[in-house]
Amino acid sequence: MSTDASSSHMAPTILQRLQQACVIPVLRLPQRETATRAIDLLLEAGFSTIELTLTTPGAIDLLTTLRARAAADFLVGAGTVLDLDTARACLDAGADYLVSPCLVPGLAPLTMARGCAALIGGFTPGEVLAAWRDGATAVKVFPASSGGPSHLAGMHAVFPEIPLCPTGGVSLTNMSDYFKAGAAFVGVGNNVIDQAALAAGDDAAVVRHARSFLTLAAAR
């Protein structure tokens, strides 16, 4: 089966930088203040990208603030983008890449036209192929926990040229297995943050825990 892969599907610079980053922290926190603290600690831990989901209160304003504060080579992602109007707002706020849990027709072409990247969700072979043919830079295999590394390995075997980013249930325990299964990079949800330490104000413990994901990814 041909996936009609071509360079037109990719924003090479952003894709390569995400592959180099290895791990995308995916923040989905209930309070803006908590999200702001988590962002600061992830920056301290050394992450080169963060995906801020739009379920976070004031997410678009936070995107603007993060883009203004972070280094020029830091990649700002907007997650749970479900329609084109929201996509435009996120791009205007400074997002470098947009992430959707499913195929949103036109989202990838819109994003690519702005020189940014689109990570479009898919779980079944048909959904992965549809996302790729719509122009996705990479396909977010979601929820990864439903199929585990073996499911990702099956997808990678069928679509070896499609960059796959498993998200949802990726942890320190199984992250290496996802890379062995063919992940181009991974999305790690709120477990990238030590929630108890964050609540207790133990910033050093939060940074140490988050940094362990980078250490593990570097050793793969």
Q: Is 51 a catalytic residue?
A: yes
Strand partners, 75: 49
Q: Name the catalytic one among 33, 44, 51, 161.
A: 51
Strand partners, 121: 140
Q: Which of 26, 80, 34 is nearest to 192 (CA)?
A: 26
DSSP string, 43-59: HHHT-SEEEEETTSTTH
Q: Which of 79, 88, 140, 78 is nearest to 109 (CA)?
A: 88
Q: Is 44 a catalytic residue?
A: no
- Cα 208 → chain centroid: 21
Q: Name the catalytic one among 127, 140, 161, 180.
A: 140
- Which residues are catalytically annotated? 51, 140
